[in-house]
């Protein structure tokens, strides 16, 4: 009988599946052109094979450099799935408290951008948090629950400029573009706040609710 993965192993598997990094198409075209050039100029079949293998090895090295990076601190592009991945996982830290100075905010913040306090106005209370590092960026996520037990997650990606992610549709509110998508059965809203990518996601929560919460959170920016 096969043994099911532990919770930690399942998290690792989910994270790996959530990150999808592909080398640029122009790299693939350049590689094919290089191989063709080697084939045209080689005098013998053996030299053709050696040349093609050398070209492929060089291309593979470039791909590895693009995906893995050249060292610590390298920042890679985030796609929608990888940016939303932390919102689909479990909290690993206690919930941040309401700020004693600004009651529209929680004590948790990323680069001076505070997470919103929704309990009093909307009935969504902070229920936990987690920190991740994806694509060379830190991602902080705060989880909220309402009185019915529904859960939503709010993630802020550290660092500027904000990664560009492709949404399935866009809604404009107050001059801000909010991307609307579905990832792993959850509705996801993405937008840029103070130069940072933000993500709000929830299963069984309407787009109207997610948009209302996301847009109201604009007022929670720390000055």
21-30 confidence digits (pLDDT tens): 444 455 445 5
In angstroms and rounded to an integer, the radius of gyration of the C-alpha atoms of the chain is 22
In tens, the pLDDT along 112-136 reads 999 999 999 999 999 999 999 998 9
Backbone angles phi, psi at 112, to 5 degrees: 85, 0
In tens, the pLDDT along 158-172 reads 999 999 999 999 999
Alpha helices in the chain (DSSP H): 7-18, 25-41, 45-68, 80-84, 119-122, 207-216
pTM above 0.85, yes or no: no
DSSP state of 136: T
């Amino acid at each position: 009988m096969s043994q099911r993965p532990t919770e930690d192993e399942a998290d690792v598997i989910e994270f790996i599946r959530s990150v999808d990094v592909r080398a640029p198409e122009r790299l693939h075209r350049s590689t094919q052109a290089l191989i063709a050039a080697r084939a045209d100029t080689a005098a013998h079949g053996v030299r053709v094979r050696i040349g093609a293998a050398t070209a492929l090895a060089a291309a593979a090295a470039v791909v590895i450099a693009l995906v893995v990076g050249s060292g610590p601190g390298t920042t890679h592009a985030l796609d929608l799935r990888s940016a939303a991945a932390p919102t689909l996982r479990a909290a690993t830290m206690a919930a941040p408290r309401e700020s004693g100075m600004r009651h529209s905010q929680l004590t948790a913040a990323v680069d001076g951008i505070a997470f919103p306090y929704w309990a009093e106005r909307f009935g969504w209370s902070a229920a936990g948090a987690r920190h991740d590092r994806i694509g060379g960026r830190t991602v902080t996520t705060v989880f909220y629950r309402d009185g019915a037990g529904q859960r939503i997650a709010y993630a802020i990606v550290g660092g500027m400029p904000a990664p560009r992610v492709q949404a399935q549709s866009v809604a404009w509110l107050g001059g801000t573009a909010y991307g609307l998508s579905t990832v792993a059965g959850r509705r996801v809203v993405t937008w840029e706040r103070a130069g940072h990518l933000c993500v709000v996601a929830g299963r069984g929560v309407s787009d109207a609710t997610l948009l209302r919460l996301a847009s109201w959170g604009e007022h929670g920016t720390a000055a």
